[in-house]
């Protein structure tokens, strides 16, 4: 979840018609009066994130001649300050980049990895899976961080500025502080009990032993010094240097308060794990949808394959003419089917034989789409199909339920004046990650290894997401870039939300591309999320509606989820103009900015 931030909460209830509204960063540094707006239109590049200070950091870099990659890293680093319970250098993520010159899409897998000593029994104790809460707040849950390596890899490959340069805005925000808002305080309150178990976490995030006060200035001098050290020495300071030594010591000897009574089980991270870590440059997934190219992240994330398969299932349905009930029915059923296949087939391809190409084949999607009926609902958990041997309407196989993923994370989207685009989702897993702060360093460590299956989801079927030495846990992160027939950007977007990321991205894409909603409204629209479960989750905007009742008449079953996802995106408009869009309300509203707002 996200966001503290120095900001006026000027969440504008803009509609798509008001395209002249624009938010822009101040001429110099981000300040405590940076305005928040969910929509901005203009020239020179655009940034959309959950946080006004972070978006302003990206705009600052664009203003000074940096490109989309430089600005994305600057924005991400600032989110590590103002959104420390969602992201930071103690975590990982996935970076999708469109190169305007070559009109090609590239990706970085910056997912955290399990220690080289990890086995499939990582989360078993006395032969039984640990309780999730016991695993989360422990050294066992911490994977080797991938975010610093992602930043350096992106800058080395496509950037135009040094790491030290793009970290400066975030370093300044950490040193000078940002303004605490309701979201930051509430997220701190939700973690207060476990934060108090770790003196370093409590000292930083519970100043004076109290919850931070809304409107107060929150400073993180330790993180400012850490960013300064990374800027001077490079990311080797973490993977081969003093910062890394502190990370290893913290994971293997969690600095827990003995009086708390908390059993903070130690991990087994080593210097070798850090020195062996690499952010992986890899090809994106690609799906053709309505004549457009939809590009996303390939495994170890399941985002690209699952969103892509669902789009392929929906390809032969005219969603533009469907009623709201017909549209949601088809979208829910396509999600259900794609999640059934995700659970069976997707894991870390360095360890598992993942049929990525076959999962994204239209032939396979057609064999699964015929399961959908207009007057009936499929039963979950639905059995997976076999993408290597597609059989029309096959219902064989053994179903496996979708495992839990924390609903934390943050997403940012950036475009520059040259037409380059970045969609980047980064995370420390659940809100507050492991809850363990590296002493003297100012950042919380991830709990990403809890994204592994603790035990086989179904003992009768091979589970591709069990832990292993150096293995990346399966993710649902789905940063997505859509290109037109000339390989130029149409839209780029993504969302946080654990496994709901996939359904949020799918729903936003179909509402924007098929239902012709303006991007800011497609992001804001109420969400439904079906993940091969008995019930589909609904946000309050759909709960109790006539649409829900008509879907229930078809056989759908629902449960309420107060908030699903929190997206951002950018849209290319004619003549070098960009539209940036963020949430209007979710997680306190997001921040869309452009370098030069349109008049």
Predicted pLDDT at 461: 84
Torsion angle, alpha carbons of 280, 433, 448, 141, to 10: 130
Predicted pLDDT at 12: 26
Active-site residue flag, 409? yes
Q: Are 378 and 334 in contact (CB under 8 A)?
A: no
Q: Which neighbouring-strand residues pair with 375?
A: none
Predicted pLDDT at 406: 62
Predicted pLDDT at 495: 97
Predicted pLDDT at 408: 74
Q: Which neighbouring-strand residues pair with 492?
A: 481, 570
Give the pLDDT mean for 305-332.
97
pLDDT at 424 over 50: yes
Give 126 or 11, the one with higher predicted confidence: 126
Predicted pLDDT at 32: 44
Q: Confidence band (pLDDT; 50, 70, 90) for 26?
A: very low
Predicted pLDDT at 458: 77
Predicted pLDDT at 407: 64
Predicted pLDDT at 487: 98
Q: Which two tokens stand for residue 273?
A: 């794990």
Share of the chain above pLDDT 70, in %: 93
360-418 pLDDT, tens digit per residue, is 999 999 999 999 999 999 999 999 999 999 998 877 677 776 766 666 789 999 999 99
Q: Which two tokens stand for residue 463?
A: 């589970």
Task: Tell me the three-class secondary structure of 148-167, residue by residue.
Answer: HHHHHHHHHHHCCCCHHHHH
Output DSSP code: residue 412: E
Q: Does the predicted TM-score (pTM) go above 0.75? A: yes
In angstroms, rounded to a whole number, what is the distance separating the alpha carbons of residues 107 and 96? Answer: 4
Tell me which of 226, 409, 431, 536 is the catalytic residue: 409
Among 28-42, 208-222, 244-258, which is the least confidently predicted range?
Answer: 28-42
Predicted pLDDT at 35: 80
Predicted pLDDT at 2: 33
pLDDT at 187 over 80: yes
120-154 pLDDT, tens digit per residue, is 999 999 999 999 999 999 999 999 999 999 999 99
Q: Confidence band (pLDDT; 50, 70, 90) for 456?
A: confident
Predicted pLDDT at 4: 33
Place of tokens 């009623």: 323
508 phi and psi angles, rounded to 5 deg: -65, -45
pLDDT at 568 over 70: yes
pLDDT at 580 over 70: yes
Predicted pLDDT at 401: 66
Predicted pLDDT at 300: 98
Give 1 or 329, the one with higher predicted confidence: 329
85 phi and psi angles, rounded to 5 deg: -90, 0
SS3 200: helix
Give the pLDDT mean for 301-319.
98
538 phi and psi angles, rounded to 5 deg: -125, 140
In angstroms, rounded to a whole number, what is the distance separating the alpha carbons of residues 154 and 74? Answer: 12
Q: Where are the alpha helices (DSSP H) in 38-82?
A: 52-63, 68-82
Predicted pLDDT at 372: 97
Give the pLDDT mean for 533-546.
97
Give the pLDDT mean for 295-315.
98
Predicted pLDDT at 460: 80
Q: Are 287 and 357 in contact (CB under 8 A)?
A: no
Give the pLDDT mean for 254-280.
97
Predicted pLDDT at 285: 98
Predicted pLDDT at 404: 67
84-106 pLDDT, tens digit per residue, is 999 999 999 999 999 999 999 99
Q: Which two tokens stand for residue 525?
A: 């629209």
461-514 pLDDT, tens digit per residue, is 899 999 999 999 999 999 999 999 999 999 999 999 999 999 999 999 999 999
What is the DSSP annotation of 228-278? HHHHHH-THHHHTSHHHHHHHHHHHS----GGG----------HHHHHH--
Q: Is 210 exposed, middle or buried (0-12, 13-18, 19+ CB in 10 A)?
A: exposed
Q: Which two tokens stand for residue 104?
A: 């090609």
In angstroms, rounded to a whole number, what is the distance separating the alpha carbons of residues 324 and 331? Answer: 10
């Amino acid at each position: 979840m996200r966001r503290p931030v120095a900001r006026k909460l000027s969440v504008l209830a803009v509609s798509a018609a008001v395209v002249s509204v624009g938010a822009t960063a101040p001429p110099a540094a981000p300040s405590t009066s940076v305005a928040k707006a969910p929509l901005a239109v203009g020239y020179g590049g655009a940034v959309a994130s959950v946080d006004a200070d972070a978006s302003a950091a990206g705009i600052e870099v664009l203003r000074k001649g940096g490109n989309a990659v430089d600005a994305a890293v600057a924005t991400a680093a600032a989110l590590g300050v103002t959104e420390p319970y969602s992201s930071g250098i103690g975590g990982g993520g996935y970076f999708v980049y469109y190169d305007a010159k070559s009109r090609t899409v590239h990706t970085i897998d910056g997912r955290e990895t399990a220690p080289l000593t990890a086995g499939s029994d990582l989360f078993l104790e006395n032969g039984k899976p640990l309780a999730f809460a016991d695993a989360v707040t422990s050294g066992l849950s911490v994977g080797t961080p991938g975010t610093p390596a992602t930043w350096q890899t992106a800058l080395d490959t496509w950037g135009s500025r040094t790491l030290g340069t793009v970290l400066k805005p975030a370093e300044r925000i950490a040193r000078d502080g940002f303004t605490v808002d309701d979201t930051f305080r509430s997220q701190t309150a939700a973690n207060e009990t476990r934060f108090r178990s770790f003196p370093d976490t409590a000292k930083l995030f519970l100043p004076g032993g109290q919850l931070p006060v809304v409107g107060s200035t929150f400073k993180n001098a330790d993180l400012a010094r850490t960013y300064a050290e990374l800027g001077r020495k490079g990311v080797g300071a973490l993977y081969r240097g003093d910062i890394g030594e502190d990370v290893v010591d913290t994971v293997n000897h969690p600095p827990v308060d003995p009086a708390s009574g908390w059993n903070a089980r130690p991990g087994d991270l080593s210097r070798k794990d850090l020195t062996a870590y690499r952010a992986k440059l890899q090809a994106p997934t690609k799906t053709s949808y309505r004549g457009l190219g939809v590009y996303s992240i390939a495994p170890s994330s399941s985002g690209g394959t699952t969103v892509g398969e669902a789009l392929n299932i929906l390809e032969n349905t005219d969603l533009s003419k469907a009623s709201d009930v017909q549209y949601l029915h088809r979208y829910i059923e396509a999600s259900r089917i794609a999640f059934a296949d995700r659970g069976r087939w997707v894991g870390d391809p360095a360890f598992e034989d993942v049929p990525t190409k076959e999962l994204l084949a239209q032939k396979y999607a057609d064999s699964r789409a015929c399961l959908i009926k207009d007057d009936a609902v499929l039963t979950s958990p639905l059995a997976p199909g076999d993408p290597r041997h597609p059989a029309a309407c096959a219902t064989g196989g053994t179903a496996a339920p979708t495992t839990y993923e924390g609903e934390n994370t943050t997403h940012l989207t950036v475009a520059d004046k040259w037409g380059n685009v970045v969609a980047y989702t980064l995370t420390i897993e659940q809100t507050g990650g492991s809850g363990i702060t590296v002493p003297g360093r100012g950042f919380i460590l991830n709990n990403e290894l809890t994204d592994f299956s603790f035990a086989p989801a179904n003992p009768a079927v091979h589970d591709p997401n069990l832990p292993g030495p150096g293995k990346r846990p399966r993710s649902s992160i789905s940063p997505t870039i859509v290109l037109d027939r000339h390989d130029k950007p149409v839209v780029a977007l993504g969302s946080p939300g654990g496994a709901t990321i996939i359904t949020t991205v799918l729903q936003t894409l179909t509402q924007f591309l098929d239902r012709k909603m303006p991007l800011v409204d497609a992001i804001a629209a109420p969400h439904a999320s079906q993940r091969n479960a008995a019930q589909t989750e609904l946000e309050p905007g759909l709960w109790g509606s006539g649409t829900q009742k008509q879907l229930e008449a078809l056989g759908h079953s629902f449960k309420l989820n107060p908030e699903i996802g929190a997206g951002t995106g950018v849209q290319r408009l004619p003549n070098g103009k960009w539209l940036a869009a963020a949430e209007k309300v979710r997680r306190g509203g997001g921040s869309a900015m452009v370098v030069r707002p349109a008049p």
